[in-house]
Amino acid sequence: MEYFTVLGKDRLSDEIYTFLQSSGIGVDNIARVVDRQPGLYAIHLKEGERSFTYWRENSQQGS
The 10s digit of each residue's pLDDT in 19-41 is 999 999 999 999 999 988 888 88
Q: How far apart are CA 22 and CA 26, in angstroms?
A: 9
Question: Does 50 have pLDDT greater than 90?
Answer: yes
Using a pLDDT cut of 90, give the percent of the chain over it. 71
Phi, psi of 36 (to 5 degrees): -125, 155
Phi, psi of 3 (to 5 degrees): -115, 125
Question: Does 15 have pLDDT greater than 70?
Answer: yes
CB 57 within 8 A of CB 36: no
Q: What is the pTM of this model?
A: 0.72
CB 38 within 8 A of CB 13: yes
The residue type found at 63 is S
Confidence of residue 61 (pLDDT cuts 50, 70, 90): low
